[in-house]
Amino acid sequence: MKKLNYLKAGFVLAMAVYGVICAVDVTEPRFLDRVDLVIHEAGHMLFSWFGEFLQVLGGTIGQLFVPAAFTVYFHLRREFFSSAVTSFWCGQSLFNVSVYIRDAQAMVLPLVSIGGGEDTIHDWNYLLSWSGLLRWDEAIGTLVYLLGVGVMLASVAWGLYHSIEREEAGGEG
Residue 171 is predicted with a pLDDT of 47
Instruction: Round to whole Å and give the CA distance between 137 and 128.
Output: 7
What's the pLDDT tens digit per position in 49-71? 999 999 999 999 999 999 999 99
What's the pLDDT tens digit per position in 133-142? 999 999 999 9
What's the pLDDT tens digit per position in 156-171? 999 999 998 766 554 4
Q: What is the mean pLDDT of residues 2-13?
A: 90
Residue 167 is predicted with a pLDDT of 60
Q: What is the mean pLDDT of residues 2-22?
A: 92
Q: Which residue has the higher pLDDT, 73 or 122?
A: 73
Instruction: Round to whole Å and give the CA distance between 45 and 59.
Output: 8
Q: How many residues would you count in the chain?
A: 173
Contact 151, 94 (CB under 8 A): yes
Contact 166, 2 (CB under 8 A): yes
Task: Taking the CA atoms of 3, 6, 17 and 31 in sequence, report the sign of the dihedral they define.
Answer: negative
